[in-house]
Amino acid sequence: MTGREVVDLIKKNVGVPWNEQSTRDTFKVGNPDSTVKGIATTMMVTFGMLKRAHEAGLNMVISHEDTYWNDRDDTKDLTSNALYKTKTDYILKNDMIVWRMHDHMHSMHPDYTVVGELRSVGIKGGENADMRPGVFTIPETTLGEFASQVKRISGFRASRCVGDPKAKIGKILVGPGYATPRMTPEADVVIGGEQQEADGSFDNVEYVADAASLGIAKGLIMLGHVVSEQAGMEDMVKWLGTFVKGIPIQFVPAEEPFWT
């Protein structure tokens, strides 16, 4: 089976109309007509992840995020960049194929990035969640306790929190990656991947910090972009296995990049 044939099967099985206008969900590098020996799913096609996929004998990478460090994978300013050359040469030399699956994952039912995120942070009942799953109710606890629990269950190292750790909370609003939801009157805590810190369409950080200063119980937990959605690519392996037969399919996680 070729990379192109794998993608054709995905388009047939995705369950939503395929948007051929998507600039994200396309082949990024490699020959789509190369034979696929194995498929690696990942949140982000980092150089480290590429090496691990190659060593595992998986030459097709299905990545939720970009390859060349910008959302549009625009490479016109990178043609003389040494890292661009090194990464591209590695992919081509090893006959690897990179294809991105972003926009359609978020319109699928369920949205595996959200399903995975809810599982990662220990919130139950998100097995069929779509991209905007609404508010989840958990047994009342404090923001500090809840943040500790999220850290313990997820294992994420570099998450950042805002708000009063003593605030009583129980209503959780979750969004994947950069689609961190804005705080609403119905929610106590927003959990997201990342978001512009200030001067954006809605600045959760300032809002939650101000709520805390005013004695209004609100919290924000920013998990990190890649780790927030990453578990969804494990679910993607199972889903792919229902219609891509006879090829090994594995989840090859991207590394959490941070130390603190």
Partner 1 sequence: MNRRRFTVLAGAAAIPLPGAAAPTAQDVVQRIQATLGGEWPVTGPDGFKVGDPSTPVKGIATTAMATVDVLKQASKAGMNLVLTYEPTFFGRQDGQVSQSARGRGFGGVAQDDPVYKAKREFIEKNGLVVFRLHDHWQARKENDMVSGLAESLGWNKYRVKPDDVLYDIPAATAEETVGLIRNKLNLRGGLRAVGDRGARVRRVMLHPGAMTPALMWQRYSEVDLLVAGEVREWENTFYAADIYTAGEKRGLVTIGRVVSEDPGMRACAGWLKTVVKELPVQWIPAGDLYWRAV
* 205 touching partner 1, by CB under 8 A: yes
Query: Which residues in 166-195 contact partner 1 (CB under 8 A)?
Result: 177-179, 181-182, 185, 193-194
Provide CB contacts within 8 A for 77, sequence distance 6+. Answer: none
* Residue 59 or 204 having the CB closest to partner 1: 204
CB of residue 12 vs partner 1: minimum separation in angstroms? 28
Contact 149, 165 (CB under 8 A): no
Q: Select from 16, 56, 83, 92 the one that contacts partner 1 (CB under 8 A).
A: 83
Cis, peptide link before residue 139, omega less than 30° from 0 = no
* 79 touching partner 1, by CB under 8 A: no
Q: Select from 3, 6, 36, 46 the one that contacts partner 1 (CB under 8 A).
A: 46
Contact 161, 142 (CB under 8 A): no
- Tally Cβ neighbours within 10 Å of residue 80: 7
Contact 176, 232 (CB under 8 A): yes
* Residue 51 or 238 having the CB closest to partner 1: 51
Site stretch for partner 1 (CB under 8 A), options 21-29, 133-141, 209-217, 245-253? 209-217
* Structure tokens that stand for 113 in this block: 């990035």
Site stretch for partner 1 (CB under 8 A), options 21-29, 93-101, 106-114, 198-206? 198-206
With CB under 8 A as the rule, give the number of residues binding partner 1. Answer: 66
CB of residue 35 vs partner 1: minimum separation in angstroms? 27
C-alpha distances in angstroms, 38 versus 59, 60, 117, 186, 260? 6, 6, 25, 45, 35
Helix (H, G, I), strand (E, B) or coil at 176: coil
* Listed residue (15, 43, 45, 11) closest to 28, CA to CA: 45
Q: Any bridge partners for residue 211, and if so which?
A: none
Applying CB under 8 A, the residues found at the interface with partner 1 are 44, 46-48, 51, 65-66, 69-71, 77-78, 81-83, 86-87, 144, 147-148, 150-151, 158-162, 165, 177-179, 181-182, 185, 193-194, 196-207, 209-211, 213-214, 216, 218, 221-222, 224-226, 254-255, 257-260
